[in-house]
Amino acid sequence: MRAIYQAFYRTSLAVQMQYRVAAIIWLLGTVLQPVIFLVVWSTVARAEGGSVGGYTVAGFAAYYITMMVVDHLTFDWHMWEYDYRVREGLLSPLLLKPVHPIHGDIADNLAYKSLTMLVVIPAAILLTLFFRPSFEAPLWAVLAFVPAIILAFLLRFLSAWTLAMASFWTTRIQALNQTFFVAELFFAGQIAPLDLLPAPLQLVANLLPFRWGLAYPVELFLGRLTPREAITGLAAQLIWLAITLVILRLVWRAGLRRYSAFGA
């Protein structure tokens, strides 16, 4: 399997190099979105006397710079293109290969991120110099961040891949993708830290998988969680990961039967 991933990775990396302009456009969005939210919340904090909900201007800077990096490390885009694969029959040759198509997509994801992190890291450094965030996480939280970010990547990737399977039942899933994107934007702490949401919405966020794929590793890295909350978060990630894997296996099998029925 290691050799297979290496082959997929090298191929994906070569393909990514051919789409440098598209990668730059994506990276602009990656950087601009958290910067916009950072400027908005920093302005609100200054207007409120220096802090909002326990977040100072420097705290918001740390939150959104970390959010930018974590989001880039964990996001997946295959849900946006899978309906095209199914509609045009591009999935058929992938099914003839001796490995599951998901492995090629994982390698594709990793290749893109290893290439674009060469831009994201300098961008994060420049934003740090400009906005002067405050990072005060204890060592244990930084160490716990490593498994948390790995689980967050797996959870977001598999969730997006599961959603993409809707392509077997409908030729266009853009509306479904947009609904998922908006829910993630709100309940994963991208628009605002979840601490600032009303208590009922915080409860909803804790019950949904979005927080555990994005907001949780950010909060952990910033030292805003107790050891008990950190352990609870890791457990929530594992639970949602197991649930997503079961759903993915069921939907994949049902989707393939439907795909074959159309003679693709």
Which residue type occupies 105?
D
Residue 91 near residue 242, CB atoms below 8 Å? no
List pLDDT tens digits, range 18-68: 666 666 777 777 788 888 999 999 899 888 888 888 899 999 999 999 999
The neighbour count for residue 6, using CB atoms within 10 Å, is: 11
What predicted TM-score, i.e. pTM, was given to this entire model?
A: 0.91
Residue 13 near residue 51, CB atoms below 8 Å? no
Runs of H (alpha helix) within the chain: 2-17, 20-47, 57-74, 82-88, 91-95, 101-131, 139-164, 174-187, 199-207, 210-213, 215-221, 227-261
Q: Given this model, what pLDDT does residue 253 score?
A: 92
List pLDDT tens digits, range 167-181: 999 878 888 899 999
Query: Is residue 126 predicted with pLDDT exceeding 70?
Result: yes
Residue 51: strand pairing partners? 56
Give the pairing of strands 55-56 and 51-52.
Answer: antiparallel
CA distance 183 to 214: 12
Residue 228: strand pairing partners? none
CA distance 244 to 177: 17
List pLDDT tens digits, range 82-100: 888 888 888 888 888 888 9
Q: Given this model, what pLDDT does residue 264 score?
A: 44
